[in-house]
Amino acid sequence: MTSRTFQYIAPRSIGVACAALSLVALAACEKTTPEPEKVTAAASPAPPPSQTAPPSPPETTKPPEPPQPAQIPAPTDVGKPPADAKKTASGLATKVLTKGTGKDKPKAEDKVKVHYSGWTKDGKMFDSSVARGQPAVFGVGQVIKGWTEALQLMVVGEKRRLWIPAALAYGEQAGMGAPAGDLTFDVELLEIMQAPKPPEVPKDVKAAPKDAKKTASGLSYKVLKKGTGKDHPTAASRVTVHYSGWTTDGKMFDSSVMRGEPTSFPLGGVIKGWTEGVQLMTVGEKTRFWIPAELAYGEKPMRPGAPSGMLVFDIELISFQ
């Protein structure tokens, strides 16, 4: 998926580069997202001399404008859903434009491939995978609320029009270049990529067992699988890991395993329990950590959506540098 696609669809409150990252990695991403490099254009080479020099163009002549992406015409009902549109309890309105050929519907943890175009209420197109000629792929649960809800109503091959209220999109005062207010999308579901089965909830999720080791900070841990490496990362290292996290009642709140791809981030930019714990590991090792609230997000997290209290993580260290 292109960065532009993520800018308009995926992030709810974070930057483009951080859109796909999880809670534990988000702090690192916010700290380390690089500024774009400034590029100084090289001087154009002089044209080869010719026997008969062409006349100089008038000073008022402008170079041709670069080609613009094709604009997809706005639907006639872009500003308001018609009477035959179906409305959900959240305020989302949808209408099936083309019936699908599939039977299964995606779940929040699945990934999907879609074609789409989006307009503001006044008919201005702000994004379109159709215009780019490339479908978008992303997690159903990683996008704005209106998309997450609507996609779970669809089957493969179906094309549906969505009227998404501002509260389920980017809000009335959207930032970071995202469109504000109510939005209208035409979405075609091309493919569902089902997520892997969720990891089993640890039997000792409520409290660290007696054979777990405990550090001076209060962090408890137990090695589940020994590593093949000898060196340990430092707080300055960038690590690549697979992980799953649960609250003490056994609810999984995040998992790179479920997303089907490991996560990389600077170790010094995440929660304290991770910074300390991963430094105890070697490459190939899988360890369970019981992280007290003061080393995680606290009993009353300031970050919206962050889990509270003690957290349990299974972490596998894949590599570091």
320 is catalytic: no
Cα-Cα-Cα-Cα dihedral sign, residues 58, 59, 60, 66: positive
Question: Integer distance in angstroms from the first to the last C-alpha of the chain?
Answer: 27
170 is catalytic: no
201 φ, ψ (degrees, to nearest 5)? -65, 130
CA distance 17 to 275: 22
User: How many angstroms separate the Cα of 310 from the Cα of each of 155, 249, 250, 270, 275?
Assistant: 39, 10, 11, 16, 16
Active-site option among 313, 314, 315, 320 = 313
- The burial class, CB within 10 Å (0-12 / 13-18 / 19+), for 291 is buried
DSSP sequence for 55-92: PPPPTT--PPPPPPPPPPPPPTTTTS--TTSEE-TTS-
Helix (H) or strand (E) holding 246: strand 238-247
Active-site option among 291, 297, 314, 320 = 297
User: How many angstroms separate the Cα of 119 from the Cα of each of 13, 103, 110, 230?
Assistant: 20, 29, 26, 54
Active-site option among 110, 127, 182, 254 = 254
User: How many angstroms separate the Cα of 305 from the Cα of each of 13, 49, 142, 187, 297?
Assistant: 11, 66, 13, 27, 10
CA distance 235 to 228: 20
289 is catalytic: no
297 is catalytic: yes
Active-site option among 9, 271, 291, 315 = 271
231 is catalytic: no
CA distance 3 to 157: 25
Cβ atoms of residues 295 and 289 within 8 Å: no
Active-site option among 243, 265, 289, 320 = 243
Active-site option among 14, 126, 253, 318 = 253
In 3D space, the residue among 24, 112, 60, 79 whose CA is nearest the CA of residue 295 turns out to be 24
Tokens found for residue 133: 């000629």
313 is catalytic: yes
List active site positions.
Answer: 243, 253-254, 271, 297, 313
